[in-house]
Amino acid sequence: MAETKQVKPLQVDLSDQVALVTGASQGIGRAIAETLAANGATVCVLARNQEKLASVVETITSAGGKADAMPCDVSQPEAVEKVVEAIVEKHGRLDILVNNAGVTRDTLLPRMSNDEWDEVLSTNLRAPFLFMRAASRPMMQQRYGRIVNISSVSGMIGNPGQANYSASKAGLIGLTQTVAKELAGRKVTVNAVAPGFISSDMTDALGPALLDVVKKRVPAKRLGLATEIAEAVAFLASPSAGYITAQTLVVDGGLIG
């Protein structure tokens, strides 16, 4: 059997750029923050768990990168406005916004409560709207910006038991396309990345038997890695992606074809 080659991490130039990543304390969000920092960006990381955020900052700074932990309730418009203002005041600019924060409250539609619907839509769709609205102002003023929204293949094909989650992620794709058209004239791009099944604590909890079923559904015959999502984000967040906007990049090993 041929040896598996070590893949070199994607390299883009994000020097002197300031990035904001929501839901950055673990999983895909953490991988995105670390990847942007490794490529030269100063990364402001947001999440509810301050202890985990501190760990992210420590990892980034220990590797020679720059990072700040920013406390914020992403569901509160005033808090979102204040954190974006604080970033611009401290660093002088905001170049990259990654809306990654998300939650699931899975259950079949007949049993889904109003609160389960509202909580998922608030975090997964309303919060990205709030952050894009706040971040668009400094980005338009500086005539440069990159916004990347983390959607999901569930928002493209649906998934039983996830009416709230699928609706929020489908809405995020529509929001991405609309805001992209509004901001394109100011050299601000807006794109989405739609992951498929990605190796994480959530997928590990499925157990070996169910994971085998999942892998058989994926043409690539494996789960994706958080770093693979992070590198897709890094490319879309880079100066090289200036003519790509209003797009959804599916990273799913061929799952939805």
Asked if residue 255 belongs to a domain, the reply is no
Asked if residue 22 belongs to a domain, the reply is yes
Report the pLDDT averaged over residues 134-152.
98
- Percent of the chain exceeding pLDDT 70 equals 98
Report DSSP state, residue 252.
S
Count of domains forming the chain: 1
Asked if residue 207 belongs to a domain, the reply is yes
Separation CA 164–CA 74 (nearest Å): 18
CATH number at residue 209: 3.40.50.720
What are the pLDDT digits (tens) for 224-244? 999 999 999 999 999 999 999
| Residue 165 designated active-site | yes
What are the pLDDT digits (tens) for 173-206? 999 999 999 999 999 999 999 999 999 877 777 7
What's the pLDDT at 5?
61
Asked if residue 89 belongs to a domain, the reply is yes
Could you tell me whether strands 66-69 and 42-46 are parallel, antiparallel, or unpaired per DSSP bridges?
Answer: parallel
Q: Is pLDDT at 4 greater than 80 in this prediction?
A: no
What are the pLDDT digits (tens) for 58-87? 999 999 999 999 988 898 999 999 999 999
Asked if residue 55 belongs to a domain, the reply is yes
Report the pLDDT averaged over residues 32-38.
98
Among 51, 154, 36, smallest CA distance to 97 is for: 36
User: Quick one: CA dihedral 123, 107, 116, 172, positive or negative?
Assistant: positive
Give the pLDDT band (50/70/90) at residue 3.
very low
Residue for token pair 């709230």: 164
Of 24, 100, 146, 165, the catalytic one is 165
Asked if residue 9 belongs to a domain, the reply is no
Half-sphere exposure of 228 (CA within 13 A, CB side): 17
What's the pLDDT at 63?
97
What's the pLDDT at 48?
87
Asked if residue 7 belongs to a domain, the reply is no
What's the pLDDT at 219?
96
Q: What is the DSSP string of 102-115?
A: -------GGG--HH
Q: Cα–chain-centroid distance for residue 4?
A: 28
Domain boundaries, position 227: 18-250
What are the pLDDT digits (tens) for 204-224? 777 888 889 989 999 999 999
Whether the CB-CB separation of 30 and 56 falls below 8 Å is answered with yes
Model's pTM, two decimal places?
A: 0.95
